[in-house]
Structure 1
Amino acid sequence: MLRRRPPRSASADDLLSTLGRLTAQAREGAELQQARVELAEALQREMLPATLPEAPGLRAAATYAPARHGLDIGGDWFDGFPLADGSLAYCIGDVQGHDVEAAAFMGQIRLALRAVATGAADPGEVLSRANDLLLSVDCGLFATCTFLRFDPVTWELTSARAGHVPGLWATADGRFGLAEDAGGLPLGIMPAESYPVTRRRLTKAGVFVLLTDGVVEGPSFPIEVGLAKVARLVSDTVGAEPADVAAGVMSVAEFTGHQDDAAVIVLCHDAAEDRHG
């Protein structure tokens, strides 16, 4: 009977050659991933506005922070623009997923919201029309969003939410809380979805904050704890400059251990009676 010769062990040269090939492949993969991260961050920052519109008695600021480790960047956004009737629109949102595709979809949503806002009566209609428009392109992604409209004549905020984290408010008399308004599903999920509108007349001087969940949720503590921390911080900074409030709110993300990107909008406002007697 012939005995089968045992397989020959690989030589040191063979092992080194294999290791070198695998290392080169890993390096190429890492470089490709890093390139995608850098592209996503560049897209994200270039598509976000440098400034937000303001009005006498209303001051605005926003800030954005990329994901801590880079891999989850792409998708959070904010925007602000004037409307034809003289009111001001502000919106903030979070796209499902990350990377270049999410950053590109974020750009589509911003354009869709700007387009439909020119002919929509209120924030609920804006979200409803934008939702149907995004579904028509069938990209397979969805996004949460809050859309807010400020009327400088009535000194009223009207807002609608599409599955987004609630905003926060505080007034100069020491009151503060969450804006847990009724809302609808995220954009891009269900056709003909409706979005209830909440109206607030700004009778007292204060601040209104919109943010994404990357600010208030992470491995270190849950979203409820993060929101409570931001609410207390906002109540302590009524009267401060909006950029300072935005920076303070964003600092909460450092305590959450967040791995997502994050965005914040801050609106500091006078009281309605101070503007209109």
Structure 2
Amino acid sequence: MTHKPPTGDDDELLARLGSLTAQARERAEFQRSQVELAIALQRGMLPGDLPDIAGYELAVQYAPACYGLNVGGDWYDAFVLPDGRIGLSIGDVQGHNIEAAAFMGQVRVGLRALASVTSQPGDLLARTNELVLSLGADLFATCTFMRLDPATGLLESARAGHIPCVWATADGRSGITDDEGGPPLGIAAGTTYPVTRHRLTTGGVFVLLTDGVVEGPSMSVDEGLDQAVRLAGVAAVAGLSAGSLAAAVIRGAERVGHEDDAAVLVVGHDSPADHAR
């Protein structure tokens, strides 16, 4: 068998292939560095500590997108309000890049700052909506804000385009919050957000989550919410900790390969057995 000696055309083709390979490698390296920067920026903007509330337990879990390129603007937050009640927020900014991660920080911090002026959930989301519009970033965010009164277990909630919460009680009941909600933050001026009231009973839990937790290539949002309801129900009946429930919910999302960031914030009301341990 004879081999044809290389020609000038062959050399040119090899040179082009080499150049394309080098360019692809550079683009992949740049993309990886952008994802790493977005992850670092996002995590640096999330709260490092959660409030310590007598009789209650707070827990969070966060997992970046399974496929690495969808790192974006999921956030969670929990903080003490001026009157001693507790503010709880979770949200998701449109987009999956450094801009979305930076915008997430602005929205989260802005909402927390405005909560010192008004913590009424509907009014707070309306004011945060105006703030988001004033930033002129051409981005929007979904969000749920809850105000918890530790003395009574009353939870007041308003929702801006976000998926509903999951709840469960120690006596075996569980479900998805039934509230009207309003449009995402940053869509239209003058938006109002209805407030729904819930009661967190002894041994019960509420689970705030982002859509990356309940939606994936092999799971619809409804299926994911149903799975979260089942997990919350089991956790409440068994008296599991808020941390164990949050970890179980995230593991469920990772098993189905979530394509988006996933964040979970669980608030649980201690049962008498918890105090005895």
Same fold (TM over 0.5): yes
Counterpart for residue 77 of structure 1: 75
**Match in the other structure for 2:257:** 257
Query: Shift in Å at residue 271 of structure 1?
Result: 7.1
Which stretches of structure 1, 4 residues or longer, exceed 3 Å deviation after superposition?
A: none
Q: Deviations over 1:156-207 (max 9, x none)?
A: 1111000101100000110000012110000000111100111123344301
What SS does structure 2 have at the residue aligned with 1:237?
helix
Say which of 124, 127, 130 aligns to 2:125.
127
- The 3-state SS of whatever aligns with 1:54 is coil
Q: Counterparts in 2 of 1:1-277, with a 5 A limit?
A: 11-238=9-236, 239-270=239-270
Alpha-carbon distance in structure 2 between the residues aligned to 1:244 and 1:202 = 18
Q: Name the aligned partner's letter for residue 252 of structure 1.
A: G
Give the TM-score taking structure 1 as reference length.
Answer: 0.92
Equivalent residues of 1:127, 1:195 under 8 A apart: yes
How far does the alpha carbon of each residue in 1:251-271 deviate from its partner, in whole angstroms, 9 at most, with x for none?
121243211110000001147
2:51 and 2:262 map into 1 onto residues whose CA distance is: 21
State the AA in 2 paired with 1:251: R
Aligned-pair CA distance for 1:121: 4.1
CA contact under 8 A between 1:160 and 1:197: conserved in structure 2?
yes
Sequence identity percentage? 57
8 Å CA contact 1:128, 1:192 repeated in 2? yes
Note closer, same or farther for the CA distance 1:10–1:165 as it changes in structure 2 (3 Å cut).
farther
Q: Which amino acid aligns with 2:93?
A: V
- Contact residue 116 and residue 129 of structure 1 kept, 8 A: yes
**Post-superposition shift, 1:10?**
5.1
Maintained 8 Å contact 2:201/2:269: no
Root-mean-square deviation (Å): 1.7
CA distance in 1, matches of 2:178, 2:160: 12
Distance apart, 1:139 and its partner CA: 0.3
Quote the Cα distance in structure 2 between the aligned partners of 1:240 and 1:122. Answer: 31
Give the aligned residue type for 2:70.
Answer: D
Q: Report the more deviating stretch, 258-267 or 201-210.
A: 201-210
Q: Compared with structure 1, are the counterparts of its residues 121 and 246 closer, same or farther at alpha carbon in structure 2 (3 Å cutoff)?
A: closer
SS in 1 for 2:22: helix
Specify every segment of 5 or more residues in structure 1 that has no aligned partner in the other structure, as ranges: 1-8, 273-277
**Which segments of 5 or more consecutive residues in structure 2 lack a partner in the other structure?**
1-6, 273-277
How far, CA to CA, are the matches of 2:55 and 2:228 in structure 1?
A: 23
